[in-house]
């Protein structure tokens, strides 16, 4: 193990010099990936003669700021793991706060829609938690849909290619959806981003006009039409746009229980709202 420990230490130092934000974790994850084991098992592992060269090559690519998940081909999200790579947005740990909220809203036989599904991580995780739910994912981009379809294989999740800003979106489900979740494009166009994001995440999944609300606004409109009375929605937003997102729900006049929520790091992360009942 001493040889592997030194290789990982050298890799972590190299990644730190390259500006990678989590050099030790990434160095360990890359070693575990090559060995085909969980990271927690590294201290019990021995490596073959070809490992050092293969490992150094992989670390060098990470030092070029290629996302860790592009190198390993997958990422964990809640209770599941999804395939990711060039062309699809990589699910972030911060979105697990939205997932945790949504899980608490699940009941048997509900209808759930994930808008801007990308890898479909949210949809698949929610279907995993409530197998009797009807879960639908909506994604527009053909490159992203390659991963969406790959990830839903063997699950009960349905996927449709559609534009979430279209007035014709899922009109056959008007007034029947119980839960909507969305991690849409929400970054203002002039934002400065880490190389892993700016150079590797698809721009269509990132940017949403000068204020970051260009996709959230039509999502609020669609939710007012799609949700059943008492149905709920959670929408992730840029950490500067909690107030702006809440105001969109308030201005529609169709929602109550509008709440700004934070991720585990305490940053404003998503807004939830409940569709008013007809009596309201």
- Segment 73-80 mean pLDDT: 96
Provide the pairing of β-strand 134-139 with 255-262. Answer: unpaired
Q: Where are the beta strands (DSSP E) in 189-241?
A: 227-236
Instruction: Kindly report, residue by residue over 40-60, the tens digit of the pLDDT.
Output: 899 888 888 899 999 999 999
What's the pLDDT score for residue 278? 64
Q: Is the pLDDT of residue 17 over 60?
A: yes
Q: What is the pTM of this model?
A: 0.93
Reading the block at residue 167, the tokens are 């007035």
Q: Is the pLDDT of residue 280 over 90?
A: no
Question: Given pLDDT bands bounded at 50, 70 and 90, which one contains residue 279?
Answer: very low
Of 179, 183, 185, 184, nearest to 113 by C-alpha is 179
Phi/psi at 154 (5° precision): 85, 0
- Looking at every residue in the chain, the average pLDDT score rounds to 95
Q: How far is CA 221 from the centre of its chain?
A: 22
Instruction: Kindly report, residue by residue over 180-225, the tens digit of the pLDDT.
Output: 999 999 999 888 888 999 889 999 899 999 999 999 999 999 999 9
Torsional sign, CA 160, 163, 164, 166: negative
CA distance 182 to 176: 17
Instruction: Kindly report, residue by residue over 233-261, the tens digit of the pLDDT.
Output: 999 999 999 999 999 999 999 999 999 99
CA distance 217 to 33: 40
Domain boundaries of the chain, sorted by first residue: 2-64, 78-275
Task: Name the CATH superfamily, with its identifier, for domain 78-275.
Answer: Vaccinia Virus protein VP39 (3.40.50.150)
Question: Given pLDDT bands bounded at 50, 70 and 90, which one contains residue 3?
Answer: confident
Tell whether domain 2-64 is in CATH 1.10.8: yes
Q: Count of CB atoms within 10 A of residue 266's CB?
A: 7
Tell me which DSSP letter residue 181 carries: E
Question: Degrees (nearest 5) of the Cα angle 146, 30, 34?
Answer: 85
Question: Given pLDDT bands bounded at 50, 70 and 90, which one contains residue 121?
Answer: very high
78-275 shares the fold of 2-64: no
Please tell me the least confidently modeled range out of 149-158, 192-201, 247-256, 264-273: 192-201
């Amino acid at each position: 193990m001493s040889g592997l420990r030194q290789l990982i230490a050298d890799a972590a130092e190299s990644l730190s010099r390259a500006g990678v934000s989590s050099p030790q974790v990434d160095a360990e994850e890359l070693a575990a990936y090559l060995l085909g084991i969980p990271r927690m098992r590294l201290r019990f592992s021995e490596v073959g003669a070809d490992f050092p060269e293969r490992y150094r090559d992989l670390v060098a690519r990470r030092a070029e700021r290629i996302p860790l998940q592009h190198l390993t081909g997958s990422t964990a999200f809640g209770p599941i793991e999804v395939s990711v790579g060039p062309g699809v947005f990589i699910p972030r740990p911060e979105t697990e706060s939205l997932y945790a909220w949504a899980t608490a809203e699940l009941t048997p036989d509900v209808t759930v829609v994930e808008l801007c599904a990308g890898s479909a991580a949210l949809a698949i995780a929610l279907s995993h938690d409530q197998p009797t739910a009807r879960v639908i994912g909506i994604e527009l981009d053909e490159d992203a849909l390659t991963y969406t379809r790959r990830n839903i294989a063997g699950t009960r999740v349905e996927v449709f290619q559609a534009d979430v800003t279209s007035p014709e979106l899922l009109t056959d489900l008007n007034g029947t959806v119980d839960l909507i979740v969305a991690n849409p494009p929400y970054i203002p166009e002039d934002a400065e981003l880490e190389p892993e994001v700016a150079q590797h995440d698809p721009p269509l999944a990132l940017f949403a006009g000068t204020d970051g609300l260009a996709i959230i606004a039509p999502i609020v409109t669609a939710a007012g039409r799609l949700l059943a009375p008492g149905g709920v929605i959670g929408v992730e937003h840029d950490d500067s746009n909690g107030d702006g997102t809440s105001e969109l729900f308030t201005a529609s006049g169709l929602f109550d229980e509008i709440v700004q929520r934070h991720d585990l790091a305490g940053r404003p992360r998503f807004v939830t709202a409940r569709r008013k009942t007809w009596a309201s």
